Structure formats: structure tokens, C-alpha cells
Amino acid sequence: MTLELPSGISQPSNPDSEDLLDDKTRYTLNAVYTYWLQHHGRLPKPADIFNSAPVGYYSSALEVAQIFSSRGFKRCITIRGVDISPYIKNGLTSEQMYVISFITDPTVTGALGTRLKKVGVKYSTWRAWMRNSTFRDTFNSIASQLLEDNFHEVERGLLNSATKGDINAIKFSYEITGRWDPNKKNAMDVASVLASVVEIISKHVTNPLTLQAIAGELAMLSAANGIKTGRPVARAIEGEVIGDEGTVFTIGTPDYQVETL
């Protein structure tokens, strides 16, 4: 297929250098050149050329990107006076840049493997590219910026899931808003149990030395496991045993009361 230049657009000055190009590369060359002129020096994306071509001419926009990266295309488009430096970002090919833009496109659904299949790139090729520090850094930079730009969509999706009754979404929403801390809840449960144990023991054990020994060991146990039980306040006849970190176990009376300051 041959793409004729629109009327008013002159033939490039060095057409002989294009004689060795295959038909599809020559078609792409003319399409890019025409777009560049009509859009006042702005280069098209591979998808622009793919969408403007007859249906079925290219297998995918990736094929266009591969042509953009070919030596013959780059040589000939440069001879026509077109600056293609935007196609060569950080030393990456047009094909690689197109794949990055496709993989990070939030409107494209599916996991990485599904996206690679859609764009026509093998997973082994992707892994090889990711071993290149330039490619990996470029991908991570674009992906991070994309996440930051679309974080409001992430929050809206979380809210949507929570309002639909998704328990995990509800838990996560409470965690990030500080309304619920599962780790703190567990610590509070243990502290409550320890306080109840001391209360029960104080009702049934009358020997002060035994009570002191029990309370002391419980205090050391809670401190060793990072459990803060708060500072109990109680009415007592026999007295108190003060453990590590100021933990107080009050002993010796059935009218034991616990409050947290």
C-alpha cells in the first residue's frame, strides 16, 4: 500500500534514500511526515498512525512503534527534517516507550500478563527489558507518577467497595482513618485479661506474700511481651505491688476496682 502525500505538501528533498524501505515502512514514513506537518511539528504516537490507517493494515500499534524504532525509518524521517528525539527517550526505543505507556494505562484492564498479551509482547521480553536499569527506572517513574495522579480514583474505589459491604475494604478504611487499629485492640484484650486475672486472684488468695509474688510475675510477663496494662487505681486494704513500667497490681481485697488514667 502506498500513502500519497496530501495536496499542498511537497515531496521530501531526498526521496532516493527511501528506495530500500519496504512498503509498510514507507507508508508509515509518509503518515508520520504528513501528521507532523499538519500538526505544526508535533510527532504522532504509534496509536495515532495505527488508528488512521486502513483497518487491518497494521497488526497492532506495537507494530507501528517497532517501525518507529527501525534504523531505516529513523534515517529517512531525519533526512526529511523531522526531529525524532522525542521518540528516543532516555535511550529507550519507541517500541519500549509504547509498551510502558500501554502497561501503565489505567483504562486498560487486566493483570500484567494479560496486558502484555494484548500489546503483543512476550513475558520473557518484558523480563529482559526490566533487567535494563534505564527501562526499569523509566517504568517505575511513570507508574509512580500515574498512581499519584490517580490516587483519588483509588480512594473512590476503596469507598465504593466498603459501601458495598466488602469486609476487607471496611477494615482497611477504618485502619487508614485511625478509627481501628487491630494491633492495639489485641494489646487491649490481653491487658484486660491480665487485670481480670489479678482481680480473681485477689478474691481467693489471702496470703500477701503469695499475692505479691503472683502480681510481680504477671507484671514482668506483661512488660517482657510489650503489653502496657495502664495504671490501675483501686481501693485496697492490704496494698499494691508495682511492676515494671509503672504497672500496678492492687491486691488484698474483694472490692477491687480498675480504672485507666
What is the C-alpha to C-alpha distance for residues 18 and 2, in angstroms, rounded to an integer?
13
Q: Is residue 143 part of a domain?
A: no
Q: Is residue 146 part of a domain?
A: no
Domain ranges, residue 61: 1-88
3-state secondary structure 159-209: HHHHHCCCHHHHHHHHHHCCCCCHHHHHHHHHHHHHHHHHHHHHHHCCCHH
Confidence at residue 177, expressed as pLDDT on a 0 to 100 scale: 66
What is the C-alpha to C-alpha distance for residues 250 and 197, in angstroms, rounded to an integer?
12
Amino acid identity for residue 172 in this structure: F
pLDDT in tens, 86-142: 766 667 888 888 888 888 887 888 888 899 998 888 999 999 999 988 888 888 888
Helices (H) and strands (E) in the chain, counts: 12, 2
Q: Is residue 112 part of a domain?
A: no
Q: Is residue 211 part of a domain?
A: yes
Q: Is residue 15 part of a domain?
A: yes
Q: Is residue 14 part of a domain?
A: yes
Domain count, the chain: 2
Confidence at residue 261, expressed as pLDDT on a 0 to 100 scale: 36
What is the C-alpha to C-alpha distance for residues 231 and 242, in angstroms, rounded to an integer?
10
Phi, psi dihedrals of residue 69, rounded to the nearest 5° = -85, -10
Choose the final residue of a domain: 88, 108, 138. Answer: 88
Confidence at residue 17, expressed as pLDDT on a 0 to 100 scale: 66
pLDDT in tens, 67-88: 988 889 988 988 889 888 776 6
Choose the final residue of a domain: 61, 88, 115. Answer: 88
Q: How many CB atoms lie within 10 A of CB 142?
A: 15
Choose the final residue of a domain: 88, 112, 138. Answer: 88
Confidence at residue 24, expressed as pLDDT on a 0 to 100 scale: 93
Which residues in the chain land under pLDDT 70?
1-17, 87-90, 169, 173-174, 176-191, 194, 225-261
Q: Is residue 219 part of a domain?
A: yes
What is the C-alpha to C-alpha distance for residues 169 and 121, in angstroms, rounded to an integer?
34
